[in-house]
A and B are shown apart, each in its own frame.
Chain A
Amino acid sequence: MMNRSVTWKSRMAVVLAAGMIASGGSALADETPGDPLEGFNRAMFAVNEGLDTVAIKPVAQVYDFVTPLPVRAGVGDFFGNIADIRNVLNNTLQGKLADAGNDLGRLLINSTIGIFGLFDVASELGLEKHDEDFGQTLAVWGWGDSSFLFWPLLGPRTVRDTGGWVVDVYTDPTWYTLNKSVAARNSLVALRFVDVRADLLPTDKVVEEAALDKYAYVRDAYLQRRRNQIFDGSPPRLEDILD
C-alpha cells in the first residue's frame, strides 16, 4: 500500500514536471494567445479523441443506457456530496465564509439525512451549492491567466488548474482515505469518471456540428467556463466590438 502511494506521488510528480517543461517550452509555429503549447496540446487532444472513440465513449454509452434515472441521480448526488468537502475547503481558503458555512451545512445534511450523500436533500431545502476547487482558489489568490494544457483522460486544464487538480486529489476522500482498499478506490474513481463522461454525451453532437476546429472550440469553451467559475457565475464583461 505504501508502495502504491509512492508510485502515485511520483506519477503526479512526472505529470507536473511535464507540465512545467511544456509550459516553459518552445513557442510553436502558429501561436494562439493563451495557448503557447498548441502543438503539444493538439497531439494530446488527438490521443484523447482516439481513446474516447474506442473505449471511453462506448462504456459511457452503455452505462447511460442501462442505468435507470434514479440510480444515475444517486450516483451524481453521491459524488456531488464528496465534492462538497472540497467546496467547504476552497470557499474557506478564498475567504467566502458564508458559502463555506452553507456548503458545510449541505455536507452534514446530505451525509446523514441524505444517506451518505445518495440524496441531495440540502438542495431541496434550498441550500445552494458553491462549486470551488483549488485551481479557482489559486486564481482568486492572484494566479491569473495560465497556459492551456490538454491531457489525455484528464482533458482540458491550464497549468494552474493542473496544479489545482493535484491538490484536489489530495483533499478528495475518493482518492485518499479509501487508499486502504485499492479496489474500492479504483472502482469509485472509475465510476465517477464514466458518470461524468456520460453526462457529457448530449453535448458531443453539438460540439461536433458547431465547431470549425474542434480542438479550438473545446479549448475556448473550457477557458470561458473556468473564467465564469472563478467569478462565481458573474464574470466582468469583455469589451464589445461594436461599442
Chain B
Amino acid sequence: MMKKLIAFVFATLCATLALAQEAPDALVKQVTEEVLEIVRKDKSIQNGDAKKAIDLVDAKVIPHFNFQHMTALAVGKDWRKASPQQQQQLAAEFKTLLVRTYSNALTSYKDQKVVYKPFRMNAGDADVLVRTEVQQPGNKPVQLDYSLEKLDTGWKVYDVNVAGISLVTNYREQFGQEIRNSGIDGLIKAITAKNKSLEGNLAKADGK
C-alpha cells in the first residue's frame, strides 16, 4: 500500500515537473488553443462580456506571465529607483491595466486562427522568442510574438509583441513622463486612476 502511494506521489511529482519544464513553444500553443477553444464556445464573451473575458485571462493566461519583469521593462531605468514596495504596487496596477485592456481583444473574436511559426532554441537557452501569426478572413495576418524566460517555476512570458509593437515597452515614454513630472508615486497614482475609470466603464456596461 505504502509502496503504491509513494509511487503515485512520485509519478505526480514527475508529471508536475514535466509540465514546468515544458518547451516554451508548446506552452504558448497549449495556452492559446485552450483559451480560443473556450472563447469559440462562449457566446457571451463573443457578445462583449468583458468581465467574463477578464476572468478567463486571469485564470488561464496570467499564471504564465512574469509581471515583475514586464513592469520593469515598461518603466525602464527608473525601475531601480523604486522601492520594493513601489515596485510591487506598480506591477500590480500595471497588471490590472494590461489584463483589462487586452482581454477586450477576446471579445472581438471572429474566426481568427493562430498559426505557430517554426521554433528554434538551443539546449540551455533561458530566454526565447516564440513567434505566431493571427490569420483572419479578409484581413492581413498579424504578427504576434512572445518573449519567454525560464524561471524555477517554468517558462514565463515577459513581453508580447503585436505587429512589431511591444505592448510593454510601448509604455516607457508615457511612464517616463509621469515619473519626470511627479515621481514614482505619481506614476502609481496615474495607473491606479486609469484602472478606476476603466472599472467604471465596466460597471456601466454591466448595468445596461
Contact = CB atoms under 8 A, between A and B. Distances in A.
Interface of A: 30, 32, 69-70, 72-73, 76, 80, 199, 202, 205-206, 209-213, 216-217, 219-221, 224-225, 227-229, 233, 235, 238, 240-242
Given A202-B108, A233-B164, A212 B79 contact: no
Interface stretch (B1-9, B11-19, B136-144): B136-144
B139 A199 contact: yes
Contact of B101 (A202, A209, A227, A242): A209
Contacts of A69: 137-138
B10 interface: no
Nearest to A68: B138
B119 to A, nearest CB: 14
Contacts of A241: 72-73, 75-77, 79
A206 B102 contact: yes
B169 interface: yes
Main secondary structure of the interface of A (DSSP, over half): helix
A32 to B, nearest CB: 6
Contact of B73 (A72, A220, A225, A240): A240
A206 B170 contact: no
Contacts of A229: 164
B191 A212 contact: yes
Contact of A217 (B72, B79, B166, B170): B170
Interface string B113-150: 00000000000000000000000011110010000000
Contact of B164 (A32, A80, A206, A227): A227
A211 B174 contact: yes
B167 to A, nearest CB: 8
Contacts of A199: 139
A199 B141 CA distance: 12
